[in-house]
């Protein structure tokens, strides 16, 4: 395994101390962005009625944000090659604010989808740039701890953000929920401007730079492993309700509790693994996907025990929700001079795996059954663990 080298664009003093204030602001940005991304899930019926469309059509407002990531994540550095990354995050927060405010007044679904496209761009840009900003705030030797904060925002949104949106929809109109989200993003943009330090862009980005990064020894192998891990997870998690409904004692309210356990496990995993990942990276690069694979298989094996399934879901959430910490720490170890390019590749792989899982998962469930889908997901996770682990054994010198 290679050792972490200093990032060229980072002054030597940057690593002397961790700037927790900036990391907390990044966590809040992740929290608000992911909460906004899944707000339609909590107000789907009211939103569909208000726009005069079906719930299925309204649900596409979530799908579009993920699809945008495949386009924006690898190109955001190309579009803004010299823009200070602090300024870029501020503009992305404002873009998310505009998106939410447009949704709040949109007269039809087309306008809503266009606005959500803007939100998807903001989310993808945040993920692509967050590793560079986290390295500036935490220092390269504590990159894993820095990434922990951004990932914790996502887990916190899963546990509290989306339910908060549902609660607000019970108190005010669904349009007001989006308006509130928009106002909060404006406030966040102001805080970002004054709390984050200047983060100069890395060397001018280009598609050639991304391809060159992917061709480095071990990087392509690791990226394939990363995609397989995410693919295996989402093949299973997308149809977790079908898997849980096989248990006789499980009803709708029990499923809500079990999914909440997944979120709680994710939050705990982010904190626990994030605190130690910089020293134990090589271990978790293999151990985490192996445990996720075991958890996915256990969902089938322990289907007769609701307590057993509850423990499995908690462990599953604990290790998968920290996967981005593992993947981004891998970027810091393998390509410390290409953090933006590496971060973009990680996001593209993540979004591509989600899209692939959505495309083939439904076909597999319809033609086979949920049990076999979980077996296939476990196999993908095991293969991902092998390839991702093997990438760390490849010398960085070609």
Query: In the chain, where are the structural domains located?
Result: 12-195, 207-391
**Cα 245 to Cα 248: distance, rounded to the nearest angstrom:** 7
Q: Do 150 and 30 contact (CB within 8 A), yes or no?
A: yes
Q: What is the pTM of this model?
A: 0.78
Of the candidates 87, 154, 86, the residue with the CA atom closest to the CA atom of residue 321: 154
Which own/partner contact pairs does 114-120 have at CB distance under 8 Å and 24+ positions apart?
A: 116/61, 116/62, 116/64, 116/65, 117/64, 117/65, 117/68, 119/33, 119/36, 119/37, 119/65, 119/95, 120/37, 120/64, 120/65, 120/66, 120/67, 120/68, 120/69, 120/72
Q: Do 156 and 260 contact (CB within 8 A), yes or no?
A: no
**Cα 193 to Cα 212: distance, rounded to the nearest angstrom:** 33
For the domain bounded by 12-195, which CATH number is listed? 1.20.1250.20
Distance of CA 212 to the CA centre of its chain: 25
Say yes or no: do domains 12-195 and 207-391 share a fold.
yes
pLDDT score for 203: 61
Residue listed under structure tokens 């943009």: 189
- pLDDT per residue as tens, the chain (398 positions): 333 333 334 443 444 478 889 999 999 999 999 889 888 877 877 888 899 988 778 878 877 887 787 788 777 877 887 888 899 999 999 999 999 999 999 999 999 999 999 999 999 888 888 888 888 888 777 878 888 888 888 778 866 776 777 778 778 899 999 999 999 999 999 999 999 998 887 665 567 777 888 888 889 999 999 999 999 998 888 788 788 888 877 777 788 788 888 888 988 998 899 889 888 888 999 999 999 999 999 988 877 778 888 999 999 999 998 898 899 889 888 888 888 788 888 888 887 888 788 778 778 877 888 889 899 999 999 999 999 999 988 766 54
**Fold designation for 207-391:** Growth Hormone; Chain: A; (1.20.1250)
pLDDT score for 352: 82
**Cα 296 to Cα 75: distance, rounded to the nearest angstrom:** 34
Distance of CA 73 to the CA centre of its chain: 12
């Amino acid at each position: 395994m290679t050792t972490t080298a200093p990032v060229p664009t980072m002054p030597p003093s940057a690593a002397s101390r961790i700037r927790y204030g900036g990391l907390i602001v990044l966590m809040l940005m992740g929290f608000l962005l992911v909460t906004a991304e899944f707000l339609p899930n909590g107000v789907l019926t009211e939103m569909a009625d208000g726009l005069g469309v079906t719930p299925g059509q309204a649900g596409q407002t979530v799908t579009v944000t993920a699809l945008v990531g495949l386009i924006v994540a690898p190109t955001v550095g190309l579009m803004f090659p010299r823009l200070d990354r602090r300024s870029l995050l501020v503009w992305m927060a404002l873009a998310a604010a505009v998106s939410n405010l447009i949704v709040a007044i949109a007269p039809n679904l087309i306008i809503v989808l266009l606005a959500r496209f803007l939100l998807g761009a903001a989310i993808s840009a945040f993920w692509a740039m967050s590793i560079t900003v986290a390295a500036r705030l935490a220092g390269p030797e504590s990159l894993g701890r820095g990434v922990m904060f951004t990932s914790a925002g996502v887990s916190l949104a899963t546990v509290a953000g989306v339910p908060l949106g549902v609660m607000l929809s019970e108190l005010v109109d669904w349009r007001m929920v989006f308006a509130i989200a928009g106002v909060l993003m404006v406030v966040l943009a102001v805080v970002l401007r004054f709390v984050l330090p200047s983060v100069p862009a890395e060397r001018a980005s280009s598609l050639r730079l991304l391809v060159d990064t992917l061709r480095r020894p071990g990087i392509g192998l690791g990226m394939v492993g990363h995609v397989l891990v995410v693919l295996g997870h989402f093949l299973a998690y997308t149809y977790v309700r079908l898997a849980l409904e096989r248990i006789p004692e499980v009803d709708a309210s029990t499923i809500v509790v079990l999914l909440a356990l997944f979120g709680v496990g994710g939050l705990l995993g982010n904190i626990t693994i994030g605190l130690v990942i910089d020293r134990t990276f090589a271990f978790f690069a293999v151990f985490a996907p192996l445990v996720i694979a075991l958890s996915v298989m256990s969902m089938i094996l322990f289907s007769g025990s609701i307590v057993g399934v509850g423990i499995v879901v908690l462990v599953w959430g604990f290790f998968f929700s920290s996967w981005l910490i593992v993947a981004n720490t891998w970027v810091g170890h393998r390509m410390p001079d290409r953090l933006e390019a590496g971060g973009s590749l990680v996001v593209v792989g993540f979004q591509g795996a989600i899209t692939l899982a959505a495309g083939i998962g439904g076909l597999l469930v319809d033609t086979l059954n949920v049990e076999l889908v979980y077996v296939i997901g476990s196999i993908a996770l095991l293969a991902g663990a092998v390839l991702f682990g093997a990438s760390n054994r490849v010398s960085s010198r070609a």
